[in-house]
């Protein structure tokens, strides 16, 4: 367990700042011109094996799917099914999100991370919260820090109000852009849930209805150029604990997927969203669809920005596979029931998300259940 120990993070002359709780926050954005990176950003060799291979993942056209073209629906469903079984990832185009809105949201990312650290820190992420600015997640971890900064929002409040109250009234228009983007992404997510429902042969409406009252986390990611990119990670290898992740990339490469024994680059496709299956949907599919092991790498010359929209169930909703799907599996259950609130508590307080979060989570659930039933 590598939750933060501030004594490990206080050696000068690293540029640091403390939040209101006394946690030291790194600002990786200021380190791009340094000769070497701080030791806390260096990752184990096994996590940073380089790759120049590209993933031949399908690009699914949702235009015919949205218009009701039968042949187009079949093509989209088959491509998504094969990709979810093999990689846990595919890309979608003609998904209904206005490209101008996506560009506007990415421009806001550039504007926010172009601010001085002192201004960004007004929106710093408080301990135990999913909202706000974080430099390298240093408020949570002491080593293997990612070479990134991010700004996160949840579905349990107003982004306009949050930015207005923390950053000032002048940032409310930025919050309005992010709110419009989240609404558009919710619609895109429900369309993708329809696609996944058909692909698993449980009906077009099953997962759409399950996620109609979805929660979400929106994260604006900034990966600054790095003087020693071969030593660090933008985001370390992990599977997302959520149901589905929708990623908006820029043209700078960085996303990589581990498949068939090696890391492969996911090439950015103009106006496409990357659809990434997470642990929660893997459980919902009873293991039929694969949770995607992925990472983000950085480079020496270019900054990289992205927008991540994490889709999760309502906190108290029970996650279990559809009965129709279980019947086809002979009633066999690969995973116990859980709620998203239980998963959040586990990943925020007990476990740093990695490639084995799901089995670790279920081991925790079973041990907790045993403790409660032991006389």
Of the candidate ranges 28-32, 63-67, 160-164, 337-341, the one whose mean pLDDT is the lowest: 28-32
Active-site residue 304, yes or no?
yes
Nearest to 221 by CA among 148, 309, 300, 311: 148
Provide the pLDDT for residue 52.
86
pLDDT tens readout for residues 173-186: 999 999 999 999 99
The residue from 48, 81, 295, 304 that is catalytic is 304
pLDDT at 140 over 80: no
pLDDT tens readout for residues 307-318: 999 999 998 999
Provide the pLDDT for residue 20.
56
Provide the pLDDT for residue 163.
97
Average pLDDT along the chain: 87
| Domain chopping of the chain, boundaries | 45-373
Provide the pLDDT for residue 13.
40
Sequence-ordered list of residues with C-beta below 8 angstroms from that of 347, at least 6 positions apart, any chain: 241, 353, 357, 361
Please state the rounded mean pLDDT for residues 101-120.
94
Alpha-carbon span 117 to 127, nearest angstrom: 19
Q: Could you tell me the pTM of the whole model?
A: 0.90
pLDDT at 10 over 50: no
Reported confidence tier of residue 355, pLDDT bands at 50, 70, 90: confident
pLDDT at 82 over 60: yes
Reported confidence tier of residue 117, pLDDT bands at 50, 70, 90: confident
User: What is the number of alpha carbons within 13 Å of residue 172 lying toward its C-beta?
Assistant: 6
Which CATH fold topology does 45-373 show?
Answer: Jelly Rolls (2.60.120)
pLDDT at 204 over 50: yes
State what percent of residues in the chain have pLDDT above 90.
65
Provide the pLDDT for residue 26.
64
pLDDT tens readout for residues 34-80: 778 888 889 998 888 888 899 988 899 999 888 888 998 999 999 99
């Amino acid at each position: 367990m590598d939750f933060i120990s501030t004594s490990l993070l206080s050696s000068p002359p690293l540029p640091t700042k403390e939040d209101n709780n006394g946690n030291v926050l790194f600002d990786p954005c200021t380190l791009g011109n340094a000769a070497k990176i701080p030791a806390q950003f260096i990752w184990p060799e096994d996590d940073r094996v380089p790759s120049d291979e590209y993933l031949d993942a399908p690009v699914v056209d949702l235009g015919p799917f949205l218009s009701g073209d039968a042949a187009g629906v079949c093509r989209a469903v088959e491509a998504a099914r094969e990709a979810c079984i093999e990689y846990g990832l595919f890309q979608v185009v003609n998904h209904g999100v206005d490209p101008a809105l996506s560009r506007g949201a990415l421009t806001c990312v550039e504007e926010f991370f172009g601010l001085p650290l002192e201004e960004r820190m007004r929106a710093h992420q408080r301990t135990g919260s999913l909202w706000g600015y974080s430099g390298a997640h240093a408020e949570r971890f002491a080593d293997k820090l990612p070479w990134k900064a991010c700004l996160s929002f949840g579905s349990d409040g107003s982004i306009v109000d949050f930015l207005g109250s923390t950053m000032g009234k002048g940032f409310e228009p930025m919050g309005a852009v992010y709110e419009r983007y989240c609404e558009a992404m919710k619609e895109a997510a429900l369309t993708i849930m329809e696609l996944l429902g058909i692909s698993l042969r449980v009906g077009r409406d099953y997962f759409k209805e399950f996620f109609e009252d979805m929660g979400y986390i929106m994260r604006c990611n900034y990966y600054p150029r790095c003087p020693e990119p071969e030593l660090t990670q933008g985001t370390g290898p992990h599977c997302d604990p959520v149901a589905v992740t929708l990623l908006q990339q820029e043209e700078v490469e960085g996303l990589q997927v581990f498949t068939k024994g090696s890391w492969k680059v996911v090439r950015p496709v103009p106006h496409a969203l990357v659809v990434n299956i997470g642990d929660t949907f893997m459980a919902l599919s009873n293991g039929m669809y694969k949770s995607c092991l992925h990472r983000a790498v950085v480079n020496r010359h270019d900054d990289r920005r992205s927008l991540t929209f994490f889709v999760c169930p309502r906190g108290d909703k029970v996650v279990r596979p559809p009965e129709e799907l279980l019947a086809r599996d002979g009633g066999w259950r690969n995973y116990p029931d859980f709620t998203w609130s239980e998963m959040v508590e586990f990943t925020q307080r007990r476990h740093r998300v990695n490639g084995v979060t799901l089995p670790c989570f279920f081991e925790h659930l079973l041990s907790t259940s045993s403790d409660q039933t032991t006389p």
